[in-house]
Chain A
């Protein structure tokens, strides 16, 4: 079995994996970081979005061995010293989540959207959320949350 090493949420981690192991399986099953979710098997839903070297990636669509040597950030790695990331705060303040299952992926995608667009307008946010599905919120408050967070992040 190949050995894979990477930095996850600032910590060096190593594990033996089958070559077919997906990054999301490595994160959830080997590292037991269960905040990253699996909602489909066709890379549609985005519940598994993490950041790899600062870019948002669907971790169900990447093999663990492809992340060798990468810096990976998951939902668990966003808060620093107990302080929530502005995107997390915005989702709470704007009721941007209901069941919470799509939420980690939405938050990780939201950060990526703001990082790339600065202060995106509503249409941009909606278009950029193409790869994240939510069944609970009708997206209304997710869009509002990301817009709010963009302001808080200085966009």
Chain B
């Protein structure tokens, strides 16, 4: 039986607006479970309660009702954060620190020190591809580099769970692809990932399970392939198929009572096209 990494039970979060009688319900009666080793995508439009949910899970905001746990520990216990790495949306780290100093700082916060910290910082910089920028101040980092150093700081104590709030927000397609590859790498290493994102194609590429939030309510939840599959349709992609074969297939389909819904040439994604074009430009 797999371990439960994140458990959210009956979570409701209400914010009181100061000096007004207004109350904003950010999350309403949310139930969610993320199993260890899973990559869970929390989707939803702006203001749907994704970031609030993540903050409650991390103990940064308290729940109005309900409870949240990380690997069996309540989120409001500081010790629960020993198992978590977090990357907030559009983070700004201390600009006067270098990449290596930043990781050393976060390592010390996790109780690390000595050779373990020193070698670990080097390994993490290598993992996120920032070894050459290790001694450069963060003020000179690009948006993509900041996201990668953010990911590295989230991984500094070798957490079992990674929580990412819009990890590719504001990053160009190449940087976005690098982060996605990193996430796939981490997924391969068995790290549980809980991420929120607007970029549905990316979520589809990395997530095993998704939950869709709308106005603080979980409106859809389940394994990705089950949620996205159209159960009465099958996709068939052929290569070098002659016209005669296509005619035969069409006849067979017609005779069997089935229906060809769509016939088209598969297309590459705009992201792939962009990456290929910019790669060629760089090589020139």
A and B interact: no
Interface of B toward A, CB cutoff 8 Å: none
Interface of A toward B, CB cutoff 8 Å: none
